[in-house]
Each structure stands twice: as C-alpha cells, then as structure tokens.
Homo-oligomer: A and B are copies of this chain.
Amino acid sequence: MDNYQAPLRDFRFLLEDVFDANQLWERLPGMSGVSTDFVRTVLEEGARIASRELAPINHSGDREGCEWADGTVTTPQGFRQAFTALGEGGWLSMNGNPDYGGQGLPKMLTVLIEEMFYSANTSLFLYGTLTAGAAYCIESHGTEAVKRRYLPPLYDGRWGGAMAMTEPQAGSDLGLIRTRAEPQADGTYRVKGTKLYLTGGEHDLTENIIHLVLARLPDAPAGTRGLSMFLVPKFLVDERGALGRRNKLRSLSIEHKMGINGSATSLMEYDEATGWLVGEPHQGLATMFTMMNYERLSVGMQGLGLSAIAVQSAGAYAQQRLQGRAPAGPVHPDESADPITAHPDVRRMLLVQRALVEGGRAFAILVGRELDLVRYADDDDEREQAAAFVGLLTPVAKAFLTDRGLDCCVLAQQVFGGAGFIVETGVEQFVRDCRIAQIYEGTNGIQAQDLIGRKVLRDGGATLSAFVDRLRAELPRDARHYAATTAEFDRLIAVTADLIERCEQDPNLAGAIATDFLELFGYTVYAWLWARMDACAGADEFGQAKRYTAQFYFDRVLPRADALVRGIRADSNALMAVPDAMF
C-alpha cells in the first residue's frame, strides 16, 4: 500500500479541458510564465516526489509514530530527509510570494500538488501545510523586515511553522482564550499561556519553528475582539536571520491519536516567551483567519487526497480479487472465480467513490480559480466578486471534501472485505488519517454555520445567487445534464429564499439545518461539475468512464439532495425541545 499513482490524466483533463486554465493564466498579469507544458511538468515532478519520497514512508510513519522525550519530539524515520527534499524542491513555497523567494504558482495547480502529497503521506505533508500557512500569514500581515527575515527560511523548509490557537477551555469558542502577552520596553512581548493541539508545534524536521500565537494584550476587551497575534520563534532570530538563544516555549507532551500518527500534536507551554506582534492589536482573529482560510481549503484537500488514494487502492484490489460469479454469468469462466468488479454492489461502491473523488477534485480547482482571481485579477470588481465566492466556497471545501472523504475511505475499506481491517493492507490508515480532517481547523459543524450564517444569510443570499448565475452561464445549453443541473440550481435558490425568511422568525433554524444546507450546496455544485465534465469528456475509455460516472452521479448520488431539502423544510421545534438532561 506504499504504492501511489498520481491521477495525472484526470488533472490534465480538468485543467485543460474542463476549466481551460491556460486561457485564464494568459490573461492574468502575474501568471504570464505559466503554460500548459510548464504545469504538466510541475505535476509530473510532484507526482514523482509523492510516489518516490513520501508514499514509501507513509505506512512506516504511522506504525512508528512520533516520540516525545523531555520536550523534544522525534519524527518517524525518513521524515526529516523527505521534508528537506520538499523544502529544497520548492514544494513548500508553491504559493509563496516571489519577492521573498516563493514560487507564486496558481492555486488551480497547487491544490492538485496538495492532493498528491496528502494522498502519499498526510502526516508528513501536514508539517509543510502549517509551514506554508504560517508563511502566508506573515506575508499578508508582517512588516517588511519580518517578511525578509522569516519568509525565505520558511519557504525553503529550513524552518517550520505552527498555529497556536486552541486552549483546554477554548476550542470552537476562541473568545475564551486566556494566554496573555505583556508588552516590553524593547517593543517585544512576553507571551504566557498553555496551548493545545499544535500540529507541528515541536519536531526535529527543521532548525527552527515559528509559532503564531493568539493571545490577549493587557488592555484587551473580553471575547474574540480582544485577541492579538504574536510571532513566537522556537529560537530567536537576529537581524541577519541567524539563530540565537532558545525561546521560552516548550512541548509538554504530544497526543496519542486515532490517526496522523507521524504528525506530532503538541501541548505547548509559553512561559514568558518572547514574541512579536503581527498585524494590528486586537485584530488577531482576523489576522489568524488569513492562515485559517488557507488551512481550511488545505484540510479539504487532505480529505480529498486520502479518499483519492483509498479509491485507487480499492479499484486495484477489486480488479485482482477473485470471488463469486457475475450475476449475468461468468466473466472469466477459465478462472476459479470472477474479479469482484463483476459484482454490481462492488461497482456501486467504487462508483460512489469515483463520483465523489473526481467531483471533489473538480470542486477544488473551482475554488483554486477564484483564489487565483482574488490574487492576480487586475479588475477590482472581479477581485471582489472572487473574494466573495472564496468566502462562500471555503467552508464547503473544508467540510464537504472531508465528510465525503471519510465516506469514500470507509467505502474503499469495505471493498477490501476482511483485509481492509488489517493494518498491513494500509487502507485502514487512510480512514484514521482522514477522520481528523472533519474536526480540526473548525469542525465541520462550524463550517456549516459559517456558510449559512456569514456567507448566505448575512447578504440575503446575494453571493450565492451570483455564484449560481456564474455557474449557469458556464454550462452549455446543449449539455446532456443541463436540465437536471439547472433544476437543482433553481431548487437551491428557492430553498435559500425560503430559509432567509424562516430564519428571521426562528433564531435556532440556521443552526438546525446548517449541515444539511452545506451538503445540499455541495451536491448541487457537484452536479454542475459532473455536467461540465460530461460535456468535456472525449471518446476514449477515459472519456467514457467520465460520462458513465456522470450518469451514475445524477442517478444514484444526487438524489441525496432530495432528502436534504425535505429535512431543511422541517422546523427546529422537536430539535430544541428535547430536555437537555435526556442527552
């Protein structure tokens, strides 16, 4: 199961045929160096790294796990070498700012690199994700001096990054954070507090680790409006970037977890650690959200990447596992039995996975496109519109890709039968590694409330409508699934309008239907993606498989939207009325 074949054919189909990315890159000022050939080369090189450097130490990394001793953390064998290779190859600065040594590649491309790296080795790549996220936050909010000092070593993987938000009493509710920061005469701050669940908070992969810590200044108001963000390096850094003394932060322990065992999750103590304010005082949550939104899409890619390798493994297994006979008579009468791909129920499992994984991949590129427009479009209106779409799509990318990701990993495991439960087969690790993605970086329930509350109700559905209009305009009227897709759009718009009205009457309704609404949105957008993929598919075997999978999506997966709509029409009375003590 250390075998991984990157879906390069599907990547090319999506970028070149479905999204015509080249046309976009040609018109965006910052993207002029990006061409189809260049992108193919980058994807092929990423695939090589994923298969040869990351995948071979994925299973061993899970078995070995990380070891904590006296505040230091030892990562599994091979992790340091592979992380160094990622850094040196420029894979941690794919989206980084070229002014400071970043690659400045389009997000439409880099989401696919992320998918491959998560498929190959989620635990290892998570260190990179946090590093790239911290760099992005510093790039967006740091002073010029801070950027010059911190970005290059983060970009090339000599240093790592970490995000310190959660505390024992403050998880989803960051307003309860207690960590404090005292200003010093020299302009630095003394940061004091305990933080939980730091992915990559301590490890042996890099010379230094840059922590971004949410804390309260002495004059801070209560709640989330009193949080500020501080850059707290493991080793202090002088003006020329050289490492100085050890800062006063320490890993108190690492967690024993269900999965991502190669990724060290630290409980951290900041004992008057020296820190620097990043961004404005009391604006820490907004500053941190730069990083969070980056991470949220990335966590979505974790769900997608794990489900992608899971279905690949299941498909390969199903083709060679011989059990029973096809219902319409033997397919291989000369063998002891037919491959289990002959059984309709096995095909159902494989096709549900294909429909969701390939739909999810297309969805990720769609989000990537909007992110590229936010960053590179020279028209203000276009940038603003794209930013609104990114806001709308980010919670869906995080929650829907990870919820469907777990579904697919579980289905893939089911295809293996008894072997799927055995550690050595490898597929059970994908289930365990995927599970956390539904929880961290804001639980999927939080994402759903973000979508319905901030992204839909707040502007009376205007962004949602504009987004649906944009998708409608991009689907040819003669597409096979045009009618079915536009019917879904109409229904989503009607459901939303109805909700806007009902939520005004009932303060609990938005929360009560948030998750179902997010799923309805997801399945509806996937319908458009499958309709487009169907319309763009060629006549070869690959194209045939796309078209049949599209048909399967409309026949067998999209009907889930019916159930969601019926559920959303219910009021919140029964939900809210059950006495608390009965739970």
**Most B Cβ at <10 Å: residue of A347, A552, A560, A570:** A347
Q: Which residues of B contact A440 (CB under 8 A)?
A: 418, 421
Q: Which residues of B contact A221 (CB under 8 A)?
A: none
Q: Which residues of B contact A438 (CB under 8 A)?
A: 414
CB-nearest residue of chain B to A331: B580
Please measure, in the bound complex, the distance between the C-alpha atom of A166 and the C-alpha atom of B422, giving whole angstroms.
Answer: 15
Contact A414 B436 (CB under 8 A): no
Name the distance in Å between A530's Cβ and chain B's nearest Cβ: 12
Name the distance in Å between A35's Cβ and chain B's nearest Cβ: 29
Q: Which residues of B contact A408 (CB under 8 A)?
A: none
- The verdict on A477 contacting chain B, using a C-beta distance below 8 Å, is no
**Most B Cβ at <10 Å: residue of A172, A431, A440:** A172
Binds B, one of A37-45, A301-309, A509-517: A509-517
Contact A345 B511 (CB under 8 A): yes
Contact A166 B258 (CB under 8 A): no
Contact B341 A172 (CB under 8 A): no
Name the distance in Å between A329's Cβ and chain B's nearest Cβ: 8
Contact A445 B511 (CB under 8 A): no
- The verdict on A289 contacting chain B, using a C-beta distance below 8 Å, is no
Name the distance in Å between A5's Cβ and chain B's nearest Cβ: 13
Binds B, one of A50-58, A72-80, A137-145, A320-328: A320-328
Please measure, in the bound complex, the distance between the C-alpha atom of A575 and the C-alpha atom of B351, giving whole angstroms.
Answer: 7
- The verdict on A169 contacting chain B, using a C-beta distance below 8 Å, is yes
Contact B576 A166 (CB under 8 A): no
CB-nearest residue of chain B to A571: B555
Within 8 A of B (CB), among A499-536: 507-512, 514-516
Q: Which residues of B contact A545 (CB under 8 A)?
A: 578-579, 582
- The verdict on A410 contacting chain B, using a C-beta distance below 8 Å, is yes
Q: Number of copies of this chain in the oligomer?
A: 2
Contact B583 A570 (CB under 8 A): no
- The verdict on A259 contacting chain B, using a C-beta distance below 8 Å, is yes
Within 8 A of B (CB), among A301-356: 314-316, 318-319, 322-324, 327-328, 336-337, 339, 341, 343-351, 354
Q: Which residues of B contact A103 (CB under 8 A)?
A: none
Please measure, in the bound complex, the distance between the C-alpha atom of A580 and the C-alpha atom of B345, giving whole angstroms.
Answer: 14
Number of A interface residues, CB 8 Å?
A: 104
User: A-side binding surface: helix, strand, loop or mixed?
Assistant: helix
Please measure, in the bound complex, the distance between the C-alpha atom of A580 and the C-alpha atom of B548, giving whole angstroms.
Answer: 12
Within 8 A of B (CB), among A72-123: none
Q: Which residues of B contact A379 (CB under 8 A)?
A: none
* Contact of A346 (CB < 8 Å), options: B256, B347, B421, B445: B445
Known A414-B438, A418-B439, A439-B418: A319·B583 in contact at CB below 8 Å: yes
**Most B Cβ at <10 Å: residue of A316, A438, A571:** A438
CB-nearest residue of chain B to A579: B541
Contact B436 A542 (CB under 8 A): no
Contact A580 B341 (CB under 8 A): yes
Within 8 A of B (CB), among A153-178: 166, 169-173, 175-176
Binds B, one of A21-29, A278-286, A561-569: A561-569
- The verdict on A244 contacting chain B, using a C-beta distance below 8 Å, is no
Name the distance in Å between A31's Cβ and chain B's nearest Cβ: 33
- The verdict on A66 contacting chain B, using a C-beta distance below 8 Å, is no
Q: Which residues of B contact A510 (CB under 8 A)?
A: 327, 344
- The verdict on A423 contacting chain B, using a C-beta distance below 8 Å, is yes
Contact B171 A323 (CB under 8 A): yes
Q: Which residues of B contact A345 (CB under 8 A)?
A: 445, 448-449, 511-512, 514-515
Please measure, in the bound complex, the distance between the C-alpha atom of A316 and the C-alpha atom of B314, giving whole angstroms.
Answer: 38
Contact A421 B258 (CB under 8 A): yes
Top 8 A-B residue pairs of the complex, sorted by shortest distance between their CB atoms: A344-B511, A315-B583, A555-B570, A559-B566, A551-B574, A545-B582, A173-B323, A258-B428
Given A173-B324, A258-B423, A344-B514, 6 more A-B residue pairs with CB atoms under 8 Å apart are A166-B418, A175-B324, A315-B583, A316-B583, A319-B583, A414-B445
